[in-house]
Structure 1
């Protein structure tokens, strides 16, 4: 998507609550954007697959197709349009599930109007390609090809598990993830925390010792290449 702002930006609002949906449309249009509604997940899926949008605003508790299922289906089919999940489900597990499904942001109802609009502006400011690539200092990690490139040169191609681990760390570069969190998020079928250390070693071997920083007694966080 283009990262456009102003009246050129097109936003799809997938919300089954008619009153809230109408409120969101008025807010977005009042801010100068073009906003279109979808009343359930099936309609949202059809519109997102057949029309071009700069942002998707998706509720979770949708009829026909649940919001996170809708988002996951779009990501699997290659739709990389930035998505903001807007929902009453606000626990840590809910927020993690939303981000893991492919959302760029997660806002809990009831929300402050100015904060919601500010988050939308921030998503629309993202340059084209930002959804599929993560910056790593002077390098870039492509989430689709799993390649890390710098100055146009491929530094490394990661395995699926290596890419999942780097994506997790790069998604919250200031956060320290415990080994238990990483197992839950990246290696749920394995369950062994020693596997985390193994894949940290693999990333360091491919990208340099500084790419993952060890925080003694706490876990790991993104470092520098």
Structure 2
């Protein structure tokens, strides 16, 4: 998927009730989402591991691989996409178990469609807040996973590398002085040379074009 702002957000819907899945998928498409459906936990796991989504909707009572087991498997493999669990079980213990398994939200069946759509929108906002688009190669910086995705390989960053790239990416046209970046990202004990060092680290991992040097001033996000 393109990381541009105009790309339709993708939703993974894992639901074995085909009529319900078709209805929910149709409503989500009308809301502007692209929907990938899976009818059992195994196919849902495959989709979740091989494709990128902004939101996942996972039924708890799935065949082959149960919904919470599916979610745990995805979380164990560093898939951090926000997830809404659907279930017929409304007891507090069941909701707690779902949240502990890695769900961000929990909705009990039968549910009202406006509430489902509102919860999906909220999860999508959460995902967007955790990602920053990079104009180089249609890549995305995932802040929660501290990685850059969208190229041929996922590139994992250190905490400081991620923080430095995030500052530049949130204001892609702004030129930051070394002193500004030192204040925004690093510790008081660090020097401006530390900024240069981490710019070097990011260029080594992501390519020299990822950050431009503006002579006499500082750095800005690359635009090539």
The alignment's TM-score, normalised by the length of structure 1, stands at 0.57
Counterpart residue number, 1:223: none
Counterpart of 1:152 (choices 164, 185, 192) is 185
CA distance in 1, matches of 2:2, 2:122: 13
Give how far 1:152 is off: 3.4
Distance 1:3 1:92 in 2: 37
Query: Any idea what the Cα deviations from partners look like across 1:89-136, whole Å, max 9, x if unmatched?
Result: 111011101110001111111111111111111111121256569xxx
| Structure 2 counterpart of 1:31 | 31
Indicate the structure (1 or 2) with the bigger Cα radius of gyration: 2
Normalised TM-score (structure 2)? 0.57
Q: Which residue of 2 aligns with 1:62?
A: 62
Task: Provide runs of 4+ in structure 1 moved above 2 Å.
Answer: 1-7, 129-133, 149-154
Q: Secondary structure at the match of 1:56?
A: strand
Q: Flag structure 1 segments of 5+ consecutive residues without an equivalent.
A: 134-144, 155-225
String of CA shifts for 1:145-199, please: whole Å, max 9, x gaps: 99xx995358xxxxxxxxxxxxxxxxxxxxxxxxxxxxxxxxxxxxxxxxxxxxx
Residues matched between the structures, number: 143
SS of residue in 2 equivalent to 1:16: coil
Q: Compute the RMSD of aligned alpha carbons.
A: 3.0
Aligned 8 A contact 1:5 1:121 in 2: no
1:75 alignment partner, SS class:
helix
Name the CA shift for 1:36/1:93 in 2 (closer, same or farther; >3 Å).
Answer: same
